[in-house]
Structure 1
Amino acid sequence: MEEQKLRGRCLCGLVAYEAAGPVSHASHCYCTMCQKQHGAAAGTYANVARAGFRFERGEEMVTEYASSEHGRRGFCRVCGSTLYWRSEQAPDRIALTLGTMEPEYDGPVERELHTDTKPKWLPVR
């Protein structure tokens, strides 16, 4: 079986990445930090092994923001696209934003995290 590859880029195209699958899980995170970072109801991520992640171009354009004691959020410093979230408590994993992937991620999103802060304005499923 061919190894799954995920690819993505930021809005301006200066940063591009690839990551080897498989995806451990994909999730919608409704924590207030993800809401602020994404300007949306949630951050949506695919969790993969960090060893299989690499920048194809533009690594020098990525800035990390320490949003908590252990959380780091990577984004393009030119266009602001959120590219990933990672935890220093799990250095072998990285969570890539689904909205940056090309082609579009077609796997399932199995988890919803921090549903206690899920916005009330979201439509009911």
Structure 2
Amino acid sequence: MKRRGGCFCGAVQYELNGAIFGARSCHCSRCRKAFSAQANSYAVITPGSLIWVSGKEHLKQYPTGNEGRLLCSTCGSSLCGVVNGEIHGITLGCLDDDQDIEIKAHIFVGSKASWEVMPENVPQYDQFPDNIDILTKPE
């Protein structure tokens, strides 16, 4: 399935040609600060399946190095994650075509915000789950 996504201001647009899997919401204190929200919703993608349609020159990585997030330098939207120097996954909030995505787990709920009420019927883990296959391998 071909999907599209982009940042808040529209300067950066991407196309995704491949599977999205391991959708999760991370409630750790780092994600709460980085996304100014109760959690970060993120999914893993097939390596090499993301193509920048426009605005690649607006991308900035934070922190720099082999791991971090790619952000729009204009509006600050966090678009994807980089692991070992490659795009690892996408933030679900910037995805335009999200009709069949289902959150598989809530992780790091041991450090969630005290005011957050967790949804029912989705597995919750105090840290990253021991059985990482549910979050790292296609179904």
TM-score w.r.t. the length of structure 1 is: 0.84
Aligned residue for 1:12, secondary structure, equals coil
* Larger strand proportion of the pair: 1
Shift of residue 116 of structure 1?
1.4
1:91-102 paired onto structure 2 within 5 Å: 91=86, 94-102=88-96
Does the alignment pair 1:82 with 2:78? yes
Supply the AA of the counterpart residue of 1:45: Y
Q: Aligned partners of 1:6 and 1:100: how far apart in 2?
A: 11
Aligned residue for 2:9, secondary structure, equals coil
Aligned residue for 1:7, secondary structure, equals strand
Select 2:69's aligned residue among 69, 73, 84: 73
How many percent identity over aligned positions? 29
Q: Aligned partners of 1:16 and 1:122: how far apart in 2?
A: 31
Q: Provide the residue aligned with 2:124 in structure 1.
A: none
Does the alignment pair 1:112 with 2:106? yes
Q: Provide the residue aligned with 1:37 in structure 2.
A: 34
Query: Size of the alignment, in residue pairs?
Result: 119
CA RMSD of aligned residues (A): 1.9
Supply the AA of the counterpart residue of 1:66: P
CA contact (8 A) 1:46 1:95 kept: yes
TM-score w.r.t. the length of structure 2 is: 0.76
CA contact (8 A) 1:20 1:48 kept: no
Distance 1:114 1:124, change over 3 A: closer
CA contact (8 A) 1:24 1:46 kept: yes
Aligned residue for 1:85, secondary structure, equals strand
Q: Aligned partners of 2:104 and 2:10: how far apart in 1?
A: 29
Distance 1:124 1:110, change over 3 A: closer
Q: Unpaired segments of 5 or more residues in structure 1?
A: none
Q: Which runs of 4+ in 1 moved over 3 A?
A: none
Shift of residue 94 of structure 1?
1.6
